[in-house]
Each structure stands twice: as structure tokens, then as C-alpha cells.
Amino acid sequence: VIVTPPESPLVLTAAIVGAEVTRAHTPYLPITAQELADEAARCRDAGAAVIHLHVRNADGSASQSSELFGEAIARIREKTDVIIQTSTGGAVGMSVEERLGPLACKPEMATLNCGTINFGDDIFVNTRPDIRAIARRIREAGSIAELECYEVGHIHEAIALLKEGLIGEPLHFQFVLGVPGAIMPSEAVIQFMRSQIPAGATWAVAAVGRHQRPMTELAIKLGGHARVGLEDNIYLEKGVLAEGSAPLVARAAAYAKSLGREVVDPDRARVLLGITT
């Protein structure tokens, strides 16, 4: 068992909107640029240093439009200093070129999905050539990659990208666990996944649905970082909708503090993540 000192600083990420959740699922989903900015600021106040960002069209459907991202980022910047991590995953079925829209905004951070998985009843396709093309474009945008790993083999693919010179150290892993059709979360899974990452890399857990709370707390206990928010889970408790992502962030932050872990602000997180822009 690998132990990380409990006093190690914690980076909390808020995934405030995603591509799949709709207003029919929860009325608390932010959609417009102003709603996204308001929610980002609320999450920052609750303890989030990073906002994992998707955007939506006015009708609520998922978009990777650089214009919509530009508008959302500008509004967020008016309100708060969070690290903005744009999605390059977008929604299932989008072309790679479409998914790359937000990179025109030169975000500080962008996701790099490291493999294909069954994604519920759909397939989230990330071919090896596509992963490499996206990695190059993230680098060209001057952004740093967060490595989204939905399976153990995705970690090994990320290490291959490092060896090929397509991504730089320190590596930042996000273990996305509990997607129906992919690996389910447990302590053994998290311990094995973290055992596979190179020394000096950071790791976080984003667990889906009912797994979010227990796995967030486990990651925090084990010395990892964590992501919460409506993209992955809309409930605060069974049957009780979270009134946005901020209450989920606040609960994770309170848990971290109860263990003596410092929840870092965005500037501290920039240093920890090696963001120099």
C-alpha cells in the first residue's frame, strides 16, 4: 500500500456542466456563459482551484464551439481566478476537429482522453492516432494536458505519449471511474492505478454517480486529488439533488480539512501542476 503524507496539498476540480446531463435531470445545471461563470465562482469560493469546462448551445445541447468557449471563459475571468481546464472530449460522436474547438482559446489546461471505452450504451472513441493528434494540438495551444484514464491501459498509453515526446512532465492523471461499461471504482483499483503512474506525476479521482462521494473521500484519504460536480454526479445524497456543483465541492473541502489536508487556491495549484503561462 502506497501512503502519501496526509498534509499534502489538495487540488479540487469542479466539473460544472459536462456534455451529458440535461436540465431534465437537474434544474441546477448551468448552461449560459453567465451561469457557468456564476457557478465557477461559487465553486472557487467553496474550494475548487480548477474548473473542468464544457459549454452548451442555448438549447442545452453540447458544443465545442470556440466562440462559446471564448464567451464562457471571458465571463469566468471577470469573476474568478480559477484554472480553466477545457474539455477536448466533448460529447460522444463529435469529430476530433470539432472536439478541438476550445483550444483556440489557449486554455491553461485541457483534457487528453487516453483511450476508447464503452460509455454507457455508446462508444467514446479515442483512437491511438487521434490521441496523438489531440496531444500535439494541446501542446501547440500552450496548454498542459490532464490525462483522462478510464481504464488501467490508458495509463500505459499516457506513458507511451511521454516516451514519444508528445506530452511533458509532470504528468497529471485523472482516473475517471465508474462509467457504465468501464472499470468500477474501489480502493484496490485506485491503489493499482496509482501504482502504475510515474514518480512525480499527480493523480486525481473523478468517480461517477453514487461512487462520487465515497471515492472522492478515499482519494483525499490516500493523498490524491479529486474532481466533483454535476458532470459526474447530480446528487448530494440519495434522492437529493445538489443545488449546483458548489455544494459538492464544499463537502469535499470540509472532508479534506477534517483530515488536515490543505485545499489549495488556484495560484498554489498552478505551482503544483507546473502551469507557467
- Binding site residues, ligand KMH, CB under 6 A: 18-20, 87-89, 91-92, 111, 113, 119, 124, 148
Q: Which is nearer to ligand KMH, 19 or 167 (CB)?
A: 19
Using CB atoms within 10 Å of the CB of residue 68, give its burial: 0 to 12 exposed, 13 to 18 middle, 19+ buried. buried
Question: Which among Zn ion, ligand KMH, none contacts residue 175 (Cβ within 5 to 8 A by kind)?
Answer: none
Q: Which is nearer to ligand KMH, 63 or 80 (CB)?
A: 63
Largest CA distance in the chain: 48
3-class DSSP state for residue 174?
A: strand
Per-residue contact flags (x/-) with Zn ion for residues 48 to 87, judged by CB under 5 A? ---------------------------------------x
Cis bond before residue 30 (omega within 30° of 0): no
Taking CA atoms, 65 is separated from 10, 15, 38, 74, 247, in Å, by: 31, 18, 20, 14, 28
Question: Which among Zn ion, ligand KMH, none contacts residue 92 (Cβ within 5 to 8 A by kind)?
Answer: ligand KMH
Nearest distance from C-beta of residue 1 to Zn ion, angstroms: 30
Per-residue contact flags (x/-) with Zn ion for residues 86 to 125, judged by CB under 5 A? -x--------------------------------------
Strand 144-149 relative to strand 122-124: parallel, antiparallel, unpaired?
Answer: unpaired
Q: Which is nearer to ligand KMH, 141 or 256 (CB)?
A: 141
Contact residues toward Zn ion (CB under 5 A) are 87
